[in-house]
Amino acid sequence: MKILTLLLTLLTFSVQAEEYEAVGVEVKAQKLTGDAYYVPGMSGAATEYEGFISNAGFVVTNEGVVVFDALGTPSLAHAMLGEIRKITDQPIKIVVMSHYHADHLYGLQVFKDEGAQVLAPKGTWDYLDSETAENLLESRRTALFPWVTDDTYLVKPDRIIDQDIKFSLGGHEFMINYFGKVHSDGDMSLLSVKDQTLYSGDIIFEGRLPFVGDANIIDWVKTLERMQHTQVDYFVPGHGSASNQPQQTMDLTYRYLKFLLEKLSKAVEDMEQFEETYEAIDWSEFEDETAFDIANRKNAYAVYLFLEKTLD
């Protein structure tokens, strides 16, 4: 009987081990306050640190767990689930996705398998239906192998959020703020009211310059301006450290985006060429920031193209 139990245990273990390749990076949950936690990713480019470059969070209630974002590979999400299981046996009830970008998304299937309902912002389907989403997953199956494999798939949302909503679970109240197309095709944040903890997603990058991509920089800056008056105890950005100084956490992203917007709006209005504009701008305020070398020129060009279309 004992041998049978042992065999079964070994079998179960090997099946699980086969399902998701173990991670080499340290995935650790940190308690912020009350029932609110986060898993801090490392500061790096998309495929560095086994793809562990974004944050995720979770709030434990006595009727289940609410997860915020799903990390960049199923292996990472599986490790995060292990961290949650050290704290509670409550089921994973809801995953609130800040937005659908690879570095926050590929772990989602782990929580889906746990029976979670996936809430995603309006605009998610634009991403899911795009060739970009498909091509990126294909390339990450190589770049992030063996953590992203042929078994990794894009989980579809169960519910689309297109306005601010409140919901409660196990004595906790939650607020989702829907921002529209800001950093991505759709972005939203989650506030755990009792814990006064705000999970912002990628509208905030702390400790490094943001990735602008095809963002709507005008709405992004406006969103941050509204958010600056938010009073919370803890603030968890999409990338970088959580802190109890919300204004400080969003400072770099806000200053940088406002700088890009001002400088490049002027260039577009004056019909200046991008190359000359870029060379003429004094970037010294930001050139020592992490990711300046890999991101700044791309960001500036993306903003230039966006403004050219918008200010026409």
Distances (CA, A) of 139 to 134, 174, 219: 9, 36, 30
Judged by beta carbon, residue 40 or residue 238, the one nearer Zn ion is 238
Q: DSSP letter string over 200-253?
A: EEEEEE-SSPPP-TT--HHHHHHHHHHHTT---SEEEEEES--BS-HHHHHHHH
Judged by beta carbon, residue 64 or residue 210, the one nearer Zn ion is 210
Instruction: Say how far residue 267 (Cα) sits from the centre of its chain.
Output: 31
Judged by beta carbon, residue 64 or residue 237, the one nearer Zn ion is 237
Judged by beta carbon, residue 70 or residue 110, the one nearer Zn ion is 70
Question: CB of 185: closest distance to Zn ion in angstroms?
Answer: 13
Judged by beta carbon, residue 157 or residue 240, the one nearer Zn ion is 240
Question: CB of 104: closest distance to Zn ion in angstroms?
Answer: 5
Question: CB of 194: closest distance to Zn ion in angstroms?
Answer: 27
Judged by beta carbon, residue 254 or residue 278, the one nearer Zn ion is 254
Distances (CA, A) of 214 to 31, 162, 165, 303: 33, 20, 26, 8
Question: CB of 198: closest distance to Zn ion in angstroms?
Answer: 17
Judged by beta carbon, residue 126 or residue 272, the one nearer Zn ion is 126
Question: CB of 71: closest distance to Zn ion in angstroms?
Answer: 10
List, as own/partner pairs, every contact residues 288-297 make where C-beta atoms lie below 8 angstroms and the sequence separation is at least 24, other chains included.
289/208, 289/209, 289/252, 289/256, 290/43, 290/207, 290/208, 290/209, 291/45, 291/208, 291/209, 291/211, 292/209, 294/45, 295/209, 295/210, 295/211, 295/212, 296/209
Residues contributing to the site for Zn ion (CB under 5 A): 54, 103, 202, 238
How far apart are the C-alpha atoms of 87 and 208, rounded to whole Å?
Answer: 31
Question: CB of 82: closest distance to Zn ion in angstroms?
Answer: 22
Secondary structure letter of residue 272 according to DSSP: -
Task: List the Cα angle 68/72/75 in 5-degree steps.
Answer: 100
Question: CB of 204: closest distance to Zn ion in angstroms?
Answer: 10
